[in-house]
Structure 1
Amino acid sequence: MIRTRFAPSPTGFLHIGGARTALFSWLFARHHGGEFRLRIEDTDRARSTDAAIDAIKDGLDWLGLDCDGEIVSQHANAPRHVEIAQHLLDTGKAFKCFLTADETEALRDDAFKAGRALRSPWRDRDASEAPENAPFTVRFRASDDDMILSDAVQGDVRWAAKDFDDLILLRSDSSPTYNLAVVVDDHDMEISHIIRGDDHLVNAGRQCQIYDALGWERPVFAHIPLIHGDDGKKLSKRHGALGVEAYRDMGYLPEGLRNYLLRLGWSHGDQEFFTDDQAQAAFGLGGLNKAPARLDFSKMAHVNAHHIEAADDERLLELASPFIEAFENRETDAELIRNRYLAAMPVLKTRASTLEEIAAQGYFLIKSRPFLIEGKPAKALNDEARDRLTRLHTLLQGLAEWTEPLLAEALKAFAETEEVGFGKIGQPLRAALTGGAQAPDLAHVMAFLGRDESLARIQDQFPPAH
């Protein structure tokens, strides 16, 4: 059974890098018909919050990354972690260390100067030599052999034995530390493949020593390079590194963000766009790149635009509704709003890269009239232009059908009759119909608004004499 996991610390939102890690783990499991598990690494009780756990769950749900089985709490497994630490003590693979904080710091400084990691003198001393009731930690007895990890992305990685310290397994209050807890949980959850950021690569070396000491089979490790900003530096808030919910609130589709994150450090030939079925069929560890990927918001928008264009019109309208409802000075008839946006959606969705842009480009459909026209659009409505709109109004009233092709033909013919360039017609007409708001071409605008609304908006701009 192929079984992967996503194991975030619940100290904040689901970061974009964590979302990519979860996606890769989910895809690998789904590709093999295996399981994708979620474990909350909540051993840091001071920083772990229920709100952060909820944010992680909500982010995964929105992204469509469904988890198998019950969610595991690492904190709840603490008794099992202590049990394994005791087993390591009993088998001589760990020892009680009675170093004080000051002694530890001094020894660490000495070890650093000598170019090696800290090795506790208590690894070779008997615990009976310690003062009575003295506090102690439980440390892992680091191996004296070099460590080699065959990583599915990084290849063979070697560490010298001197680079590994005697890792603390249990703190002086008997609480387990991260590296012990991770090994025990991954073993007990029967995780076969661990896909995570390469900032955990050194941890993998430490964890493999624990696996080997316990006689447990190592999982396959795949350490992926972290996401960088456009300046090539590690991604941070100043690069716009946001939580998944922020991209949702900006109007990205979950499938759009999934597709973008998929290609952020993984490739399958030259294919750029993927459906979920295509992604699951194609995904493999061999396509993961060693070089760090760079977050590119323009590319993200481009990929999202592709998925918006392919999405169902009614679903887009539902998802865009919060953005539409946020507009001021808009039509309040819900049915009218729905009908106009739905009629225009086949065109609107070809011009938008986010749901917010769909809403904005359709705002002209639901602006309450008469509306105030200011700035550059107002300059197009001079006396000559208003007179011309009255003549256009008469022409449009006489159209037998109100369809986009006939409207486009009528506008072209009117410009020829008036013996002016189309701009002399288009600019004031666009101002009258949309108030200067974003909109498709004018024939589409009038078709979406309908005969009565279009003629009424034009009539609103007649010269005062009319």
Structure 2
Amino acid sequence: MSSKVRVRFAPSPTGGLHLGGVRTVLYNYLFARHHGGEFVLRIEDTDQSRYVPGAEEYIYETLEWCGLVPDESPLKGGPYGPYRQSERKPMYRPYAERLVAAGQAYYAFDTPEELDAMRSELRTDANPNPQYDGQVRARMRNSLSLPPDEVQRLLDAGTPHVVRIKMPPGETVTLTDMIRGDVSFDTSTVDDKVLLKADGMPTYHLAVVVDDHLMKITHAFRGEEWLPSAPVHILLWRYLFGEDAMPQWAHLPLILGPSGKLSKRDGARYGFPVFAANWTDPKSNELTEGFRERGFLPEAFVNLLALLGWNDGTDQELFSLEELVERFSIQKVHKGGAQFNFEKAQWFNHEWIKRSSPARLLPEVKALFQSKGWDTKDDAFLETVIGLVKERCTLLADFVPQAGFFFEQPSSYDSASFIAKWTPEKAAFFERLADTFGQEPDVADADREAAFKSAAEAAAIKPGELQLPLRVMLVGGKFGPPVFTIAGLLGGAETAARIRKALAAIG
């Protein structure tokens, strides 16, 4: 095994990337960076029937958005390529043949119809899904049950076949998991998994072992749903390369939703995203919303994922990626499932928006404003606006209602908030104020506020009774930054125009 830490994420390009998958990426990435190691992206596309066009590109885009860019990948290359399993196809058969020659695997010639007949015959209430295992293999068409000359005849004739591992009976196989400690398995309860398919492609079981060996992977982190497959992989390591060469394993806890393991259906049912970014299924054209498009910052998304199953033993909740790299330890990942809470996820985003500089938020917010058709003026103006409203924003989309009045005049007014105390004298005050502001376009905020209070005193009206109507006239409602700051950014002419428009609407 390599002395340098090397980890990998090996997704299948079959659709969008669930936040559980991104968390697996994150933990791999953090572990590698913490130990000065390397993070590898390997595309496991051996099941061509499940391959979805665009899914691989989606994976690259998502990881780049998250800031979790691999050191080696199909895009970047590296010393252990190729990094798509479909391009590594010739590498796998020799290992499968070696296992057959050693009596640790066998050829199986069963047709799909014969397999269906076996399952139908053996299916019971107690065993609803019969497996091809040590008890069943003797009655099937394989190189263990057929005479050697018949096996050779079938091979020479090019008869379609798979290679299956021959699981030994009654052995206990133990895995030392970095999170869970020792986990033991009875080999008698595990079926003879297919290692090499009839098309010559490996299954996950053979490919993951061969590729991890050839790519010198030192640590393998994956979801706990893969634990039942661990005895097969341990035996393959033992048979092919020796258990001492096996990576250290860690099986990550599930991410839980309201009704068990978090699923795409949970997102649709409860109205929150479960994918990192928007994914449109090319066959059904079904759109699954992502955190990115919902308005999450990648810093917040990565932060909330890190704490779904891990903490550093302190009460700290907000971590930059650099802080996570420094603090991360795989031993502090929890064994139990992590409950996803969308309200908490939004809290993370709100906090990250607040702590982000206007310059950091500028690209995303500017794109949002431009999508509304607004004249976004210059970047310095935008950064000022962002700085004024960002503490009121939970999602990036909130910048639109919170700052939209800087770019277009209100179309309606919350006059109900002050109309009960509205008088002709107040209307006259605002008519005069519009004239004043219109003639003084470049007055400082403090001077404009002083002029406003002075005019109120001259009209014998309390300034406090006039500031709310002024705010509503400028923004349409009872929200926004300090009202004279708003007036200063709008400028005297625009402020006067809005006052006059509101007065006409209020009547």
Q: 1:21 to 1:406 in 2, by over 3 A?
A: farther
Cα deviation for residue 345 of structure 1 reads 2.3
Of 180, 200, 204, the residue aligned with 2:206 is 180
Quote the Cα distance in structure 1 between the aligned partners of 2:188 and 2:164: 16
Out of 396-405 and 347-356, give the one that drifted further.
396-405
Out of 118-127 and 6-15, give the one that drifted further.
118-127
Show the counterpart of 1:142: 167
Question: CA-atom RMSD, angstroms?
Answer: 3.1
Cα deviation for residue 34 of structure 1 reads 0.2
Cα deviation for residue 419 of structure 1 reads 4.7
Quote the Cα distance in structure 2 between the aligned partners of 1:403 and 1:181: 69
Show the counterpart of 1:244: 276
Cα deviation for residue 73 of structure 1 reads 0.1
Q: Is the 8 A contact 2:303 2:319 kept in 1?
A: yes
Q: Is the 8 A contact 2:96 2:163 kept in 1?
A: yes
Of 303, 316, 340, the residue aligned with 1:259 is 303
Of 373, 394, 400, the residue aligned with 2:412 is 373
Cα deviation for residue 410 of structure 1 reads 6.2
Out of 319-328 and 259-268, give the one that drifted further.
319-328
Q: 1:54 to 1:205 in 2, by over 3 A?
A: same
CA offsets 1:366-417 (integer angstroms, 9 cap, x no match): 11x5x5325x347756664533423544676799984455556666777777
Out of 318-327 and 429-438, give the one that drifted further.
429-438
Answer yes or no: is 1:213 the counterpart of 2:239.
yes
Quote the Cα distance in structure 2 between the aligned partners of 1:176 and 1:156: 29
Show the counterpart of 2:361: 316
Q: 1:432 to 1:215 in 2, by over 3 A?
A: same
Q: Which amino acid aligns with 2:229?
A: N
Answer yes or no: is 1:95 the counterpart of 2:123.
no
Quote the Cα distance in structure 2 between the aligned partners of 1:297 and 1:415: 47
Answer yes or no: is 1:21 the counterpart of 2:24.
yes
Q: Is the 8 A contact 2:442 2:492 kept in 1?
A: no
SS at match of 1:281: helix
Cα deviation for residue 326 of structure 1 reads 2.2
Q: Which amino acid aligns with 1:82?
A: R
Q: 1:218 to 1:61 in 2, by over 3 A?
A: same
Quote the Cα distance in structure 2 between the aligned partners of 1:43 and 1:316: 40
- The number of residue pairs the alignment matches comes to 457
Q: For 1:439-458, what aligned pairs fall within 5 Å after superposition?
A: 439-458=480-499
Q: For 1:67-466, what aligned pairs fall within 5 Å after superposition?
A: 67-71=70-74, 72-105=83-116, 107=118, 110=122, 118-119=133-134, 120-121=137-138, 122=142, 124-125=144-145, 126-130=147-151, 132=154, 133=157, 134-144=159-169, 145-216=171-242, 217-239=245-267, 240-245=272-277, 246-268=290-312, 269-327=314-372, 330=374, 332=375, 334-335=376-377, 338-367=379-408, 369=409, 371-373=410-412, 376-377=414-415, 380=418, 384=424, 385-393=426-434, 402-404=443-445, 418-419=460-461, 422=464, 424-436=465-477, 439-462=480-503
Q: Is the 8 A contact 1:363 1:437 kept in 2?
A: no
Q: Percent identity?
A: 31
Cα deviation for residue 164 of structure 1 reads 1.2
Q: Which amino acid aligns with 1:13?
A: G
CA offsets 1:85-125 (integer angstroms, 9 cap, x no match): 01111222111223344444455564986898622124644
Q: Is the 8 A contact 2:86 2:201 kept in 1?
A: no
Q: Is the 8 A contact 1:152 1:221 kept in 2?
A: yes
SS at match of 1:244: coil
Cα deviation for residue 365 of structure 1 reads 0.7
List runs of 5+ in structure 2 lacking aligned partners: 75-82, 278-289
Quote the Cα distance in structure 1 between the aligned partners of 2:131 and 2:15: 35
CA offsets 1:39-71 (integer angstroms, 9 cap, x no match): 111112133234111111000111111111242
SS at match of 1:270: coil
Q: 1:223 to 1:411 in 2, by over 3 A?
A: farther
Q: 1:248 to 1:100 in 2, by over 3 A?
A: closer
Cα deviation for residue 251 of structure 1 reads 2.3
Q: Is the 8 A contact 1:41 1:73 kept in 2?
A: yes
Quote the Cα distance in structure 1 between the aligned partners of 2:441 and 2:98: 89
Show the counterpart of 2:280: none
Answer yes or no: is 1:2 the counterpart of 2:18.
no
Q: 1:343 to 1:253 in 2, by over 3 A?
A: same
Under a length normalisation based on structure 2, what TM-score does the superposition of the two structures give?
A: 0.81
